[in-house]
Amino acid sequence: MSKISTSDFQKGMFIKFREEPYQIVEFKHVNPGKGSAFVRTKLKALKSDKVLEFTYKSGETVEEIPIFVKEMQYLYKDKEGFTFMNNKTYEQLNLPEIIVGNFKNYIKEGQIYQILIHNDLAVGMRYPKKVNLEVIEADDGARGNTVTGAKKVVVIETGAKVTVPLFIKKGDIIAIDPESGNYLERSGK
């Protein structure tokens, strides 16, 4: 195990917090009023999936938990969760829905994803910064809602709904931030 400082924090990193393994879901720098600097984190417990908040003094050290990344192909979803396969060894493993989180709306069968392994257990997956997905349903004549601006809701190939600008049409490929579910840009037709 290696010691890291708060300045090495990265989203998705796994660390030990009070002797238990956690994943850093979010971190922000805060400078309260008059004084020193801190790093506010949201930590997700690997065992219970509960999220807690903790604020570190800037420069505090924590133990990083070693995680291996395996590239695996997404096969299907069933009651157990999401099944992935290693295309070289044909080994399969299952990620429960709760760990896949919001990404379940943007995951596509047959695609390769990075699965995170700790002690031979799948503990998470690495979200790409953006995913490109096809729009399969769009009201091309929509005028949008004048209060919220010129926006409409379309359905993408995974079945999820995304709010997009009016010029997006059925058949367009759009880039989405899988973490927030926000539309980023039109990436192709």
The site for another protein (CB under 8 A) is made up of 18, 28-36, 38, 40, 53-57, 60-61, 148-150, 165, 184-185
CA angle 162, 163, 168 (to 5 degrees): 95
Nearer to another protein, 11 or 108 (CB): 11
Nearer to another protein, 51 or 150 (CB): 150
- Give the shortest CB-135-to-another protein separation in angstroms: 16
Nearer to another protein, 57 or 170 (CB): 57
- Give the shortest CB-38-to-another protein separation in angstroms: 6
Residues 116 and 70: their CA atoms lie apart, in Å, by 6
Cβ proximity of 58 and 29 under 8 Å: yes
Cβ proximity of 166 and 180 under 8 Å: no
- Give the shortest CB-120-to-another protein separation in angstroms: 30
- Give the shortest CB-57-to-another protein separation in angstroms: 6
Nearer to another protein, 40 or 118 (CB): 40
- Give the shortest CB-147-to-another protein separation in angstroms: 8
Cβ proximity of 14 and 64 under 8 Å: yes
Nearer to another protein, 51 or 112 (CB): 51
